[in-house]
């Protein structure tokens, strides 16, 4: 049954056309995702669909009596309590349900007024209000921002069970894949609908772009032939000639397909020495509350570390200590002489509205190239800006655009160690994809805090897990590997993950091991994954040592005693190499079975 119908919608913001000629219908129980670049009109579109904003032309018709709940991205800081704000008018809700939703969104107390909350707190309150309503249509604008991973997983399960219709704006790609049945893409004034989740959208988008590429190629070949004909002809007099000329003009006025510009960045940065950054027995606290303790780690060149843990566990405190912005409670951090940290934090910078982007770069960077000679204009293009943005005042940019400008300024400073604290909160999918591609080429270590599983799986190959016992565990594997392991009783038992978890801090899907678990196929644990990751380096080292020993033995320069020692080590190294190769094959097979 159709509950919402939009006919020929159009909307402008100033001179910019956000969308036009949009016609769509929404059925009861249908789940629709909305994606697109920041500033393209996603929030405006859902407000128009909700009846909160009028279109410039066209109309939206709701089924009679349709109940709509809307979570807005930037709710007003009203002078009302959270308790009064979240409760639907004229409805009484069970206390347990209210507590469940407040816990899900991370609100501890209902007594505060909205005017006392941060931007993230206001979003969480708006999400709680929408979830508590008895709605036929739920419209959520970036609901996963400022939620930790367990809250995102709980929200995901809740929305999967929701029997009403859903319109969802989000940049969380796994979230889209698991919840929506179709995707609406808002792109430069046009809106396209794709059936399926995000992975299906990627496949169909690629196919659509390939068709457009072929059509553009055919159009150019056609024009080349026809324009050559036109140059050879006298002025058209016949009907057929006039029709042919009209066809030429029609093709010339087509919407041209433009290839996306691929910026091949070398990811240059300041040179790293042998010692990069070492953490020794680190402990952190805030206001006498211990957050983590006894953590040691030595960073290697090319490390890709994701950090996972619930809100309030100390992730940002840990980053501040590593970046030398905050002193540890105990322990120490040792910095290499050539280390240059680039820290993209959640705090932002003083960005005066009247200051031009170019002047902001001069203030923040002080020079105009990074190590590879890359200019600010080139880096801006990499992160989806037109170079002309250099001359725009900061006050003319959206919040997401300012965050992108800040990221560019940090990269222009030639860091060789990157720290990213929640970069996925304010970036759209296109920007996240650009950042992922940039990090592919960045030669130094990257440490990122994020609750975006897609982003973490893409950029991190091992994790620092902030455990319930306030220790930090170095876990070799992806975020998806960890979520899979966390449901496995054998892994939980091996890692003693739940032994110190109390009722308040336990994750919703952690399960204690059963007493009589059935026999299971061999599964790769964290120790095995770590061993597998280290084996190629060990094999390479042994092969190099064997080659060096063979060169020494064949030189004939050493005395008999040295030659005997070299020969003994040569035999031993070959045995170690054979064992390492066998173990590598064994672990590869286990990993293959696990993935299968």
> What CATH number has the domain bearing residue 295?
3.40.50.300
**Residue 371: which domain range?**
277-484
Do 207 and 185 share a structural domain?
A: no
Do 126 and 45 share a structural domain?
A: yes
- Asked whether residue 489 is assigned to any structural domain, the reply reads no
Q: Which two structure tokens, joined as six digits, stand for 161?
A: 């069970």
Which of 38-42, 371-375, 439-443, 454-458 has the least mean pLDDT? 371-375
Residues in contact with 578: Cβ distance below 8 Å, sequence separation at least 6, in sequence order? none
Do 300 and 431 share a structural domain?
A: yes
- Asked whether residue 260 is assigned to any structural domain, the reply reads no
**How confident is the model over 184-205, as a mean pLDDT?**
90
More confident residue, 195 or 263: 195
Do 177 and 207 share a structural domain?
A: no
Do 168 and 31 share a structural domain?
A: yes
Do 220 and 187 share a structural domain?
A: no
Phi, psi at residue 424, to the nearest 5°?
-80, -10
**Of 484, 513, 547, which one is at a domain's C-terminal end?**
484
Phi, psi at residue 369, to the nearest 5°?
-145, 150
3 state DSSP class of 25: strand
Work out whether the CA dihedral 429, 431, 434, 438 comes out positive or negative. Answer: negative
pLDDT score recorded for residue 446: 95
Q: Which two structure tokens, joined as six digits, stand for 439?
A: 């990090």
pLDDT score recorded for residue 594: 58
pLDDT score recorded for residue 514: 36
**Of 196, 214, 242, which one is at a domain's C-terminal end?**
196
- The closest of 345, 335, 342, 349 to 315, measured between CA atoms, is 345
Do 90 and 215 share a structural domain?
A: no
For residue 407, is pLDDT > 90?
no
Residues in contact with 465: Cβ distance below 8 Å, sequence separation at least 6, in sequence order? 308, 309, 472, 473, 474, 475, 482
pLDDT score recorded for residue 362: 81
pLDDT tier at 592, thresholds 50, 70, 90 = low
- Asked whether residue 98 is assigned to any structural domain, the reply reads yes
Q: What percent of the chain has pLDDT over 70?
A: 86
Q: How are strands ordered across the β-sheet holding 57-62?
A: 16-27, 2-13, 57-62
**How confident is the model over 424-452, as a mean pLDDT?**
89
**How confident is the model over 348-363, as a mean pLDDT?**
82
Which of 56-70, 143-157, 529-543 has the least mean pLDDT? 529-543
Do 207 and 187 share a structural domain?
A: no
Do 562 and 467 share a structural domain?
A: no
Provide the whole-model pTM: 0.74
Do 453 and 329 share a structural domain?
A: yes
Residue 450 buriedness (CB in 10 A; 0-12 / 13-18 / 19+): buried
Do 421 and 333 share a structural domain?
A: yes
> Which tens digit of pLDDT belongs to each residue from 544-564?
888 888 888 777 777 777 777
- Asked whether residue 261 is assigned to any structural domain, the reply reads no
CA distance 322 to 339: 12
pLDDT score recorded for residue 225: 80
pLDDT score recorded for residue 418: 94
What CATH number does the domain containing 542 carry? 1.10.287
**How confident is the model over 563-580, as a mean pLDDT?**
82
The upper half-sphere exposure of residue 485, i.e. CA atoms within 13 Å in the direction of its Cβ, equals 24
**How confident is the model over 424-449, as a mean pLDDT?**
89
pLDDT tier at 90, thresholds 50, 70, 90 = low
**Of 196, 221, 242, which one is at a domain's C-terminal end?**
196
Q: Is 83 left (phi over 0), alpha (psi -120 to 50) or beta?
A: alpha
Give the length of the chain: 596
Do 113 and 28 share a structural domain?
A: yes
pLDDT tier at 212, thresholds 50, 70, 90 = confident
pLDDT score recorded for residue 334: 95
> Which tens digit of pLDDT belongs to each residue from 412-421?
888 899 999 9
Phi, psi at residue 465, to the nearest 5°?
-95, 120
**How confident is the model over 327-347, as a mean pLDDT?**
90
The total number of structural domains in the chain stands at 4
pLDDT score recorded for residue 447: 96
Which of 129-138, 141-150, 513-522, 569-578 has the least mean pLDDT? 513-522
Mean pLDDT, the chain, whole residue set: 82
Residue 544 buriedness (CB in 10 A; 0-12 / 13-18 / 19+): exposed
């Amino acid at each position: 049954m159709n509950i919402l119908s939009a006919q020929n919608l159009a909307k402008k913001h100033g001179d910019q056309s956000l969308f036009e000629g949009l016609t769509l219908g929404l059925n009861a129980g249908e789940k629709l995702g909305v994606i697109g670049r920041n500033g393209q009109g996603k929030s405006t579109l859902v407000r128009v669909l909700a009846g909160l904003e009028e279109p410039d032309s066209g109309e939206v018709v709701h089924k009679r009596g349709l109940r709509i709940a809307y979570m807005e991205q930037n709710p007003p800081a009203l002078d009302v309590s959270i308790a009064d704000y979240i409760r639907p008018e004229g409805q009484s809700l069970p206390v347990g349900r209210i507590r469940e939703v407040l816990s899900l969104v991370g609100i501890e107390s209902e007594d505060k007024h909205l005017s006392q909350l941060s931007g993230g707190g206001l979003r969480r309150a708006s999400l709680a209000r929408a979830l508590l309503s008895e709605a036929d249509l739920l419209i959520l604008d970036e609901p996963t921002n400022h939620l930790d991973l367990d809250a995102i997983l709980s929200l995901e399960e809740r929305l999967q069970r929701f029997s009403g219709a859903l319109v969802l704006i989000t940049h969380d790609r796994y979230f889209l894949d698991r919840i929506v049945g179709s995707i609406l893409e808002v792109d430069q004034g046009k809106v396209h609908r794709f059936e399926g989740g995000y992975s299906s959208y990627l496949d169909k988008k690629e196919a659509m772009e390939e068709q457009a590429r072929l059509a553009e190629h055919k159009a150019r070949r056609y024009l080349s032939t026809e324009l050559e004909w036109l140059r050879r002809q006298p002025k058209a007099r016949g009907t057929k000639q006039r029709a042919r000329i009209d066809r030429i003009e029609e093709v010339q006025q087509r919407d041209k397909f433009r290839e996306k510009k691929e910026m091949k960045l070398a990811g240059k940065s300041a040179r790293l020495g042998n010692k990069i950054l070492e953490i020794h027995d680190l402990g952190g606290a805030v206001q006498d509350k211990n957050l983590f303790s006894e953590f040691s780690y030595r960073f290697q060149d090319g490390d890709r570390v994701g950090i996972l843990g619930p809100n309030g566990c100390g992730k940002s405190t840990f980053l501040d200590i590593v970046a030398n912005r905050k002193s540890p409670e105990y322990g120490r951090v040792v910095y290499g002489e050539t280390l240059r940290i680039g820290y993209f934090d959640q705090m932002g910078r003083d960005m005066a509205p009247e200051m031009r982007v170019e002047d902001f770069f001069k203030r923040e960077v002080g020079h105009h190239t990074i190590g590879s000679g890359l200019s600010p204009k080139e880096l801006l293009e990499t992160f989806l800006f037109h170079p002309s943005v250099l001359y725009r005042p900061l006050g003319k940019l959206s919040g997401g655009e300012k965050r992108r400008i800040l990221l560019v300024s940090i990269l222009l400073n030639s860091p060789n160690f990157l720290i990213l604290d929640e970069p996925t909160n304010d970036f759209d999918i296109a920007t996240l994809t650009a950042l992922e591609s940039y990090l592919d080429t960045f030669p130094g270590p990257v440490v990122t805090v994020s609750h975006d599983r897609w982003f973490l799986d893409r950029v991190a190959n091992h994790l620092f897990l902030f455990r319930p016992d306030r220790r930090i565990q170095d876990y070799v594997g992806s975020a998806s590997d960890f979520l899979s392991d966390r449901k496995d009783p054998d892994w939980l038992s091996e890692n003693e993950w739940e032994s110190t978890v109390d009722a308040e801090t336990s994750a919703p899907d952690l399960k204690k091991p059963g007493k009589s678990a059935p026999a299971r196929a061999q599964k790769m644990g964290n120790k095995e994954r770590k061993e597998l990751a280290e084996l190629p380096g060990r094999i390479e080292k042994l092969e190099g040592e064997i080659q060096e020993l063979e060169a020494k033995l064949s030189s004939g320069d050493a005395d008999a005693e040295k030659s005997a020692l070299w020969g003994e080590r040569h035999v031993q190294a070959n045995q170690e190499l054979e064992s390492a190769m066998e173990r590598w094959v064994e672990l590869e097979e286990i990993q293959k079975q696990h993935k299968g």
